[in-house]
Structure 1
């Protein structure tokens, strides 16, 4: 016979298991950021059209621009890789990141690296302090852009206070502080 206390304990355990599965750390993120945890998530829309959902993964130190972290975008529609690169370069310019010459070079690198995506495709960027950024498509390596200034500019699209998507920034950083 199951007591009420035991039933509550079993239900609590079941809920905890479901929640743990819901925020399981992707393997490619865990490799780069041991003890990673989800700091926040949000959605980017353009004129009410959902473009992608985003998740920010941080290590035990929480979000710090000079620490490893990962930003994963799950696309809600088919997009051309070259257009993703172009939009990224435009957003870097809007937040004032890099010089025109740097952004031109970064655009060429992103165009060569970023693939076309379909609905459900995931591109993950990992900040590698002092090195640059590493990118994955659906958990498989795409390549690196080995320039710390690029990494600051690229992740600044979402995380810089001057971002053009402040609500998404707030959602991504919701639980990004280090634990007490």
Structure 2
């Protein structure tokens, strides 16, 4: 290192910074499940209830995790969080359109296109979206730990979340696993 300092005096010397080392250690030791914690802290005693991988034509699209208060059984009358970790890149338009199409297909359409366009951003492989309900008429969204919006509409929790957790989803097996049944 002394050689470099003589030939390239502009190079800074490595400095041991205890704060930097502590932050790096914390980041390396934090379980990946806590990525969504910034949104889950709005849910009382959020605990993992179930997990499932959604596949389309055999290709995995996303891994889903359901969080309920205290890990209790899933209930529409209670608030809960749903996290999706994407395995593919998807455009904002694809997310918005497929969500609206599924809401209509299951019989729970809602005129929320403008809100979805605010809430949803394009995702890349590895990105995580977290949706947390707040009563029957509000769902807040976080993308990779940053809040993107709160969508409000009468009954939006049931309309939106039924795409993943309802009685008429694309995959009953996926929904049962996600619900922890």
The aligned counterpart of 1:107 is: 113
In 2, the alpha carbon distance for the partners of 1:115 and 1:24 equals 21
Match of 2:107 among 86, 90, 96: 96
In 2, the alpha carbon distance for the partners of 1:93 and 1:146 equals 18
Offset, 1:55 = 0.3
Q: Secondary structure at the match of 1:32?
A: coil
Misfit runs of 4+, over 3 Å: 21-26
The aligned counterpart of 1:117 is: 123
The aligned counterpart of 1:84 is: 95
| Alignment RMSD (CA, Å) | 2.0
Match of 2:144 among 135, 138, 141: 138
- 1:14-93 → structure 2 map (5 Å cutoff): 21=31, 26-60=36-70, 61-93=72-104
Gaps spanning 5+ residues in structure 1: where?
Answer: 1-20, 176-180
In 1, the alpha carbon distance for the partners of 2:175 and 2:81 equals 14
Specify the structure having the higher radius of gyration (Cα).
2
Gaps spanning 5+ residues in structure 2: where?
Answer: 1-30
**Contact 2:55–2:62 (CA under 8 A) maintained in structure 1:** yes
Change (3 A) 1:49 1:55: same
Matched length:
151
Offset, 1:173 = 0.9
Offset, 1:108 = 2.6
**Contact 1:113–1:143 (CA under 8 A) maintained in structure 2:** yes
Offset, 1:141 = 0.4
Offset, 1:77 = 1.0
**Contact 1:32–1:68 (CA under 8 A) maintained in structure 2:** no
In 2, the alpha carbon distance for the partners of 1:137 and 1:24 equals 13
